[in-house]
Structure 1
C-alpha cells in the first residue's frame, strides 16, 4: 500500500470518496447477512465513513482498519465521540483508537491492514467492504487486490461479507474513457468475473442489486453478498 498517496488524499477535509450520509446499499442489504444482535463487524479501509455510525446504531460493534491516522482522528472528532488511543503491543507503527457510540464499541486499527492478525481483530461475525476492494490495484507483480482478499479471509475466518463494487455504465462513455476507467483508479472498476474469481473458492457469491442510475452516469454502485461455502 502507498501511505503517501492516501496521506495526500486525506489532507482534503472532504475527500471525493467520502460520503456525507450512510450508503443506501448498506441500509438496503446489510440485513441479508442475518446477524445476531451485538455481532462484530469488520470494516476494512474504513476512513472516516459514517457507515460505521449506522452499523453501531443497528446494535453492532465495529472493528475498523485504516491506513491513515488523520482519517481516524477526523472520524472521532467530527462525530464527537470520546476516544482512547493506545499503541499496538507488537507494532509501534500502529495505533488503536477506541470509543463508544450508540452503546456499541467502535475500535479502529490505524496502520497497514496486511500487518493485522486474527488475534488483533478478534472474533468477526461479518465484513462490510464499502471502498476497500475497489481501492486496491491488481497489477503485476504485487497483485495487491488478490493479497487483500486473502488477508480479509484470513483475518475474519471467512465471515460473511456485504461487498460494494463499482461497475461501468458502458453506454455512457466512449471506448477510450471505458478503458481509462478500467485501468485507472482508485476507485478501480472490478468486473463481475473478477469478483467471482477472487471469492468463489471461499464463498457463495450472490449479486444483490445496484443503485438507481441515470443514463449519463459512468459508474454504478453494486452490492454483493458473500456467504461461507461450508
Structure 2
C-alpha cells in the first residue's frame, strides 16, 4: 500500500474495516466551518474537473450539475458562468453564504416546503441553487433529475456506514444520460482515521457497479503537506466516471 494505490483483496478488506465504525457528526462538520478548519476546501478548485470537463459534459449545453456536500466550491460559479445550472447541498449555512459573498453574487433565501427546516439559497441570476440541509433529506422530487455530478469530496466525507444510503441517493438523482465524476482517495487507513476516508476500487464497484458503467480515468499521486500532517507518506487520488447502464 505504501508506494502504490493497488493492494490485494485481503488488504483492502482489512484496511476498509479500520474505518468502518468511524462517525463524524453534523455538529463536527459545522464546527469545522465555524472554526475555519476547512483544509478540504480548495481555493483554486480541483484540476481533475477542468481536465475531464468535456467528458462530464459530453457535448451537451445548459446542463443541471449537482455538487454534493458542496461547501463553497468555486467551480460552482465557473460552471454557472459556462451556462449550466448548478444545484448543491451543504449542511453549513455559513459555507453557502460565504460562497455567494466571496464570488460577489447576490442571492435570495427561501424555505423548502418538502424539507422541514431546510433553506434554499438561490443566485439572483437563478442558475445556482444551493440547499442547506442534510444531504439525505434531498430527493429528486425537490431538485429534479440531474445531467451531471461532480463528487470531489463527498463520498470520501460521508460516514462509511452511510455509503450505501449515499450511493442510492446519488443514483436516484441521475437521469439516463447523467455522467458522474467521482474522486476517491487511497492511503493507509491505519495511519489516519479520516475524513477523507479511504475508498477502494472494489468499494466503488460494490456501491455503483450494479447500476453503472464505471471507468477509472486516472490515479494520481497527491501526497502534499496536508496528508503528511496526518502522518501519511502515501496519498493517491483516483477519479472515475460513472454512467447508468
TM-score of the superposed pair, with normalisation by structure 2? 0.80
Higher relative contact order (CA 8 A, sep 6+): 2
Contact 1:129 1:162 in 2 (8 A): yes
Partner of residue 180 from structure 2, selected from 146, 152, 161: 161
Aligned counterpart in structure 2 of residue 86 of structure 1, from 110, 118, 123: 110
- CA apart distance, 1:13: 3.4
Give secondary structure in 1 for the equivalent of 2:164.
helix
Contact 2:221 2:235 in 1 (8 A): no
Aligned: 1:134 with 2:153: no
Q: 1:94 to 1:214 in 2, by over 3 A?
A: closer
How far is 1:12 from its partner? 2.9
Tell me: CA distance 1:92–1:213, structure 2 relative to 1, closer, same or farther (3 Å). Answer: closer
Question: Structure 2: how far apart are the matches of 1:213 and 1:8?
Answer: 26
Aligned length: 213
> Given that residues 152 and 183 in structure 2 are in contact (C-alpha distance below 8 angstroms), is that contact kept between their aligned partners in structure 1?
yes
Query: Secondary structure at the residue paired with 2:104?
Result: coil
Aligned twin of 2:130 = 108
Q: Is the 8 A contact 1:69 1:110 kept in 2?
A: yes
Aligned-residue offset at 1:151:
1.0
Structure 1 residue 77 displacement after superposition: 1.0
The match for 1:194 among 173, 189, 203 is 203
Question: Is contact 1:25-1:211 (8 Å) kept?
Answer: no
Shift of 1:91: 2.5
Alpha-carbon contact 1:35-1:125 (below 8 Å) kept: no
Instruction: Report the Cα distance in structure 2 between the residues aligned to 1:79 and 1:56, rounded to whole angstroms.
Output: 12
